[in-house]
Structure 1
């Protein structure tokens, strides 16, 4: 019970963080993403990751997936990656909370995807009140982030259970 309460508090903090970012005026939001983009360019100047095949393939995939109608800038990719990342973590937290509390896989998967998607819809609606555009496509990216987070959390849970079960069988326990 203590663990699920702690995870619930983390979810609420994370939702607050999401709404904090979506409540920023357009110029502040632009500066924030611009700063992250410049930071990533500095890291790239040292590590030179943008010339790797892995990066080129990932960028091509994300451009097709997230920007089917236009050629995005590096800053566009940073902004959409932030959407994906925020909701990836929210998906993990929501799934973990539900599973810790109820121990039901299907319900935990559904909550892990649906709660972040609901927050994403409300987040996009909130942006309208701060002179920022809202986009159903951003909700799609957010939902995909949550879905990926749930899949990763589920895989970790299942693999952990298999390892524990195998370890217990080898020790003679059942």
Structure 2
């Protein structure tokens, strides 16, 4: 770790890092579920919200979950990197890269789980969720939080 990053690491940095690791663990947990159990979890969500259970609605719920959790991850990565006073450009690209790498690794991991498969579309969807959240977070940092690291 460089001296600049060590000097800027704070309680706020630790908070965002713990959130990142928690999201990573949650994703890994759900990705480790065999196909049948994963489908029943999607069915639970449909039943809870009293949505008609069909393959289409299950697929939509799953894709929304992918998009949302990686949007949360992108938000957390961006805020973590901003606490280290990196430039906003670096915050953006590192955040997206970390989310993409985790998404790709997660989809690869799923190829080893019975009844699951790794999908390139899911990696793209995950990355898009991260891009959207990262962009919005950086816009907020620029316009409302007046982050000084705008290089």
**TM-score calculated relative to the size of structure 2:** 0.83
Structure number, greater radius of gyration: 1
Give the total of aligned pairs. 135
Cα separation, 2, equivalents of 1:144 and 1:34: 25
Deviations 1:18-65 (A, max 9, x none): 1111000111100111111222336x9xxxxxxxxxxxxxxxxxxxxx
Distance 1:33 1:78 in 2: 7
Higher share of residues assigned helix = 1
Which residue of the partner structure matches residue 145 of structure 1?
129
* Other-structure match for 2:5: none
RMSD: 1.8
CA deviation profile, 1:53-84 (whole Å, cap 9, x unmatched)? xxxxxxxxxxxxxxxxxxx7111100000000
Encode CA deviations 1:98-155: one digit per residue, 9 max, x unaligned. Answer: 1111241011001121101100001001111112111111100000010011012112
Q: Mapping of 1:83-162 within 5 angstroms?
A: 83-131=66-114, 132-161=116-145
Instruction: Tell me which residue corresponds to 1:24.
Output: 33
Aligned to 1:170: none
Q: Which has the higher contact order (CA 8 A, sep 6+)?
A: 2
> Where do 5+ consecutive residues of structure 1 fail to align?
45-71, 165-174
Unpaired stretches in structure 2, ≥5 consecutive residues: 1-9
Aligned to 2:48: 39
Runs of 4+ in 1 over 4 A off after TM superposition: none
Going from structure 1 to structure 2, the CA distance change for 1:10 and 1:161 (only over 3 Å counts) comes to closer
